[in-house]
């Protein structure tokens, strides 16, 4: 009996050592390299389209999450993508302007990363057509992470764990395309679809209170005009508009990309999902509350040559405005904001 017990103990220790060795050599655990990522979206969502040259896999998403929070991808190793995109804020930045390396500062508020798998372009001016091309910009921008591509990859290649990750996911050594593909895949996995409004759309009439229901009716009416720019399952038309914020803009918006006078001072409509958590608002973070935003649209705003044709038509009572704000709060998805799969 004593011999059997001793033998059993030795076997158990051996198994523990093997397991520890596997964890050390296999940081991705039990994730098969080609296991497809499942979106599992409700019926009122379409099936996302993913680039054929960057298919979503569970292992690639996991690698992308690691890279998203990797501070060595900044010049002084103090910043990561996650330093300006906070989960509790819908992966936006609660500061008006994010701080880059050496406390450098831009002129636009960091947009949220919510359901970006459905995005048709990225940044406030739509300068990048894909998440892959978008991801390189904050890495190399002098006012953000300020690192060149060669140095970024040198640092990743110097880490044996990343070497194992890339070999597992791509069967190659770390390179910039793999890095960008992985970060883009993680960002595409950031899915929000369990707000009270979603439950209401799935048939739970009690998911919205009476004020939010009135707000939903107003939202889709010609009285409030909200649906023109923020309609659909993701509450954005993915297009560019001038919302009468200023008579003269310091930032020319979409014009910077196209050079067309018809795009002067137009900015992309952001999704309104989780909007109650993503203050401050507007491209320049100039508004602090949803009440201020809704009041702006009800004020007939500032005239501009490219101002949206819908804005002068909006007339809202104080109760109307309160009901729309209540609806906007009902777009908060607490599971998205606390999902451990999105954390470092």
Active site positions, annotated: 144
Distances (CA, A) of 202 to 45, 219, 276: 11, 18, 22
As beta bridge partners, residue 128 has 122
Query: Cβ(197)–Cβ(190) under 8 Å?
Result: no
Distance separating alpha carbons of residues 79 and 90, to the nearest angstrom: 18
Distance separating alpha carbons of residues 342 and 186, to the nearest angstrom: 8
**Where do the H-state alpha helices sit in the chain?**
2-25, 58-68, 131-140, 149-157, 160-170, 176-188, 196-201, 210-219, 227-230, 255-258, 290-297, 318-329, 334-338
The tokens for 100 are: 């880059």
Query: Cβ(152)–Cβ(80) under 8 Å?
Result: no
- Beta strands 240-241; 267-268: pairing state: antiparallel
Distances (CA, A) of 248 to 128, 167, 237, 304: 25, 52, 25, 8
The phi and psi torsions of 273 (rounded to 5 degrees) equal -65, 135
The phi and psi torsions of 147 (rounded to 5 degrees) equal -125, 145
List, as own/partner pairs, every contact residues 86-91 make where C-beta atoms lie below 8 angstroms and the sequence separation is at least 24, other chains included. 87/337, 87/338, 87/339, 87/342, 87/343, 88/277, 88/337, 88/338, 89/277, 89/278, 90/114, 90/192, 90/273, 90/274, 90/275, 90/277, 90/278, 90/336, 90/337, 91/190, 91/342
């Amino acid at each position: 009996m004593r011999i059997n017990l001793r033998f059993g103990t030795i076997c158990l220790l051996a198994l523990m050592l093997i397991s520890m060795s596997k964890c050390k050599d296999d940081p991705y655990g039990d994730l098969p390299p080609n296991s497809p990522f499942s979106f599992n979206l409700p019926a009122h969502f379409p099936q996302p389209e993913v680039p054929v040259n960057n298919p979503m896999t569970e292992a690639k998403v996991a690698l992308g999450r690691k890279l998203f929070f990797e501070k060595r991808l900044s010049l002084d190793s103090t910043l990561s993508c996650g330093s300006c995109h906070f989960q509790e804020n819908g992966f936006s930045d609660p500061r008006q302007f994010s701080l880059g390396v050496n406390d450098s500062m831009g002129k636009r508020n960091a947009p949220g990363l919510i359901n970006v798998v459905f995005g048709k372009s990225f940044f406030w001016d739509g300068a990048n057509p894909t998440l892959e091309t978008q991801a390189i910009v904050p890495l190399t921008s002098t006012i953000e992470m300020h690192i060149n591509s060669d140095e970024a990859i040198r640092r990743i290649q110097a880490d044996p764990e990343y070497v194992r990750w890339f070999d597992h996911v791509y069967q190659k050594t770390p390179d910039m395309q793999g890095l960008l593909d992985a970060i883009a895949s993680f960002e595409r996995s950031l899915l929000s679809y369990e707000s009270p409004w979603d439950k209401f759309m799935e048939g739970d009439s009690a998911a919205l209170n009476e004020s939010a229901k009135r707000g939903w009716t107003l939202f889709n009416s010609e009285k409030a005009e909200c649906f023109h720019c923020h309609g659909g399952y993701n509450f954005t038309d993915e297009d560019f508009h001038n919302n009468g914020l200023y008579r003269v803009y310091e930032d020319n918006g979409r014009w910077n990309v196209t050079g067309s006078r018809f795009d002067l001072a137009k900015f992309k409509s952001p999704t309104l999902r989780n909007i109650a958590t993503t203050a401050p608002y507007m491209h320049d973070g100039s508004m602090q509350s949803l009440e201020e935003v809704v009041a702006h649209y009800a004020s007939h705003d500032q005239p501009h040559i490219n101002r949206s044709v819908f804005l002068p038509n909006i007339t809202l009572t104080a109760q109307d405005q309160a009901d729309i704000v209540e609806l906007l709060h009902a777009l908060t998805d607490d599971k998205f904001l606390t999902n451990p799969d999105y954390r470092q």
